[in-house]
């Protein structure tokens, strides 16, 4: 047993060292500013990371959305077979109640902002969704399970999610109908630097934001329902 562990550690260290040594001759690529200018010309997205994420490599992002959807679906599917806990004791403190609501509102506002300016500054739909999810998480620490269910309309979430998923797929093939290629940015690019520019990038950011927000809400809800608050 000792011997095996030793062997594991030694062989890992060997591979690690070889990797580090082989990294020493990595060439450095300098990217000229013209290349960035071309990206802006093609996508009108000042954040070039978003330009890759939602324009050039949108195909990958669609799969990513499905990975996220499927994982949430799996969480709900498997947790439903676990009996929900009988007694759910929220933190009942008036100060915390107030501030959690406050935090929730702030998180939603921040999330919408982050989602909408994803093509201009760091951020984007995914981060925004998780921020909104965190807000809901804080609120749900202070509430009963039924209250959470009513307030966040958990039973409707799955239908919203289907709608979002459907619109994401349809958006990717819609360009075919108007004579362009699938996954192509078919909306007008607009004026650089505006929120309503860069074609469908803000639209996708918004859809991903909603998707992730609902997803993280349902994760939080089902985890708390079947496992209790921390």
Partner 1 sequence: MIILICSILITFIGFIGTILKKNLILKMLSVGVMNTGVITFFVGLSYRSGKAAPIIDKLLKNQQDLADPIPQAVIITSIVIGFAVLTFSLVYIMLLTSRRSTMDVKRIEGETDES
Partner 2 sequence: MFLEISLGIILVVLALIVVLQNKPLKAIILSGAFSASAAITYFFIGAPDVAMAEASIGAVFTTFVYIVALKHSGKLRVGYIDQAGLIKRGAHGYEGVEYELLKLFSEDRAMSLEMKKIDSFDSIEKLENFDIICGGMVESTFSGKLRDFMLIPYLETNIFKTKKGEKLDLVRIKNLVLSGQISPQDIDQNTKEFTKYVFLISKESEDVGKALTDFLQNLDKKIFNDIVRRNLG
Partner 3 sequence: MRADPSYLVISPFLFSVAILVFKKHSKLLSTLEAMLNLLLVSILFLEGDYDFYISNWVSKGIHLLVDFNTKVILLMISIVFLSVTLNSLKKDYNHHFYFFSSVFLASTNASMMAYDLFNIYVVIELASLTAYLLIGYKQKTIQLWASLKYLILSSVALNFYLLGIGIIYAYNRTFDISKIEVLPEISIVFVLVGLLAKSGIFFMSMWLPLAHSEAETEVSALLSGIFVKIGAFQIIKLLSIEAFSTARPLISMIAIVSSILGTVYAFSEKSTKKVLAYSTLSQMGFVLSGTSLANILHMFNHGIFKSLLFLTVGDSVENMEKKNFQDLKDKKIPLLRNLTLKIALFGIMGVPLFSGFVSKSLVDHEMHFTGKIGLSIAAVGTVASLWRFLSLRTQRIAKEKIRENIGYLILTTFVILVGAIGTFKMNLSDILKSLILIALGVLVYKIFKLGNISKVFEKLDNALFIYIIFCVLGLIFFTVI
Indicate the residue among 28 and 159 with the shorter CB distance to partner 1.
Answer: 28
Which of 31, 89, 95, 178 is the binder for partner 1 (CB under 8 A)?
31
Structure tokens at 139: 């609120």
User: From CA 33, how far away is CA 191, in angstroms rounded?
Assistant: 20
User: Which residues does 75 contact at the CB level (< 8 Å), separation at least 6?
Assistant: 218, 219, 222, 223
User: Applying CB under 8 A, what is the total number of residues that bind partner 3?
Assistant: 49
CB contact at 8 A, 114 and 200: no
Q: Determine which residue in the list 6, 38, 70, 150 makes contact with partner 1, applying CB under 8 A.
A: 70
Distances in Å between the Cα of 32 and the Cα atoms of 22, 35, 83 are 27, 6, 59
Residues 60-119 that bind partner 2 (CB under 8 A): 114
Contacts of 122 (CB under 8 A, 6+ apart): 47, 49
Binding site for partner 3 (CB under 8 A): 4, 7-8, 11-12, 14-15, 18-19, 22-23, 26-27, 29, 39, 52, 55-60, 62-64, 66-67, 70-71, 73-74, 77-78, 81, 158, 162, 165-166, 169, 172-173, 175-176, 180-185
Binding site for partner 2 (CB under 8 A): 47, 49-50, 114, 122-124, 126-127, 130-131, 133-134, 137, 216, 219-220, 223-224, 227-228, 230
């Amino acid at each position: 047993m000792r011997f095996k562990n030793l062997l594991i550690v030694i062989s890992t260290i060997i591979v690690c060292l070889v990797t580090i040594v082989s990294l020493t001759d990595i060439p450095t690529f300098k990217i000229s500013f013209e290349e960035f200018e071309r990206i802006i010309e093609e996508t009108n997205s000042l954040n070039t990371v978003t330009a890759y994420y939602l324009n050039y490599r949108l195909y990958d992002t669609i799969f990513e959305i499905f990975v996220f959807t499927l994982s949430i679906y799996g969480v709900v599917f498997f947790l439903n077979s676990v009996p929900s806990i009988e007694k759910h004791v929220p933190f009942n403190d008036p100060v915390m109640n107030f501030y959690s609501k406050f935090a929730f509102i702030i998180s939603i506002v921040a999330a919408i902002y982050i989602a909408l300016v994803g093509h201009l500054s760091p951020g984007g739909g995914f981060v925004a969704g998780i921020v909104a999810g965190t807000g809901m998480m804080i609120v749900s620490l202070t509430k009963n399970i039924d209250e959470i269910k009513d307030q966040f309309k958990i039973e409707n979430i799955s239908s919203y999610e289907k709608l979002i998923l459907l619109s994401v797929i349809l958006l990717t093939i819609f360009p075919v109908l108007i004579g362009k290629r699938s996954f192509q940015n078919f909306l007008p690019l607009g004026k650089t630097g505006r929120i309503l520019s860069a074609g469908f990038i803000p639209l996708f950011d918004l859809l991903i934001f909603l998707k992730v927000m609902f997803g993280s809400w349902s994760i939080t809800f089902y985890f708390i329902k079947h496992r209790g608050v921390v």
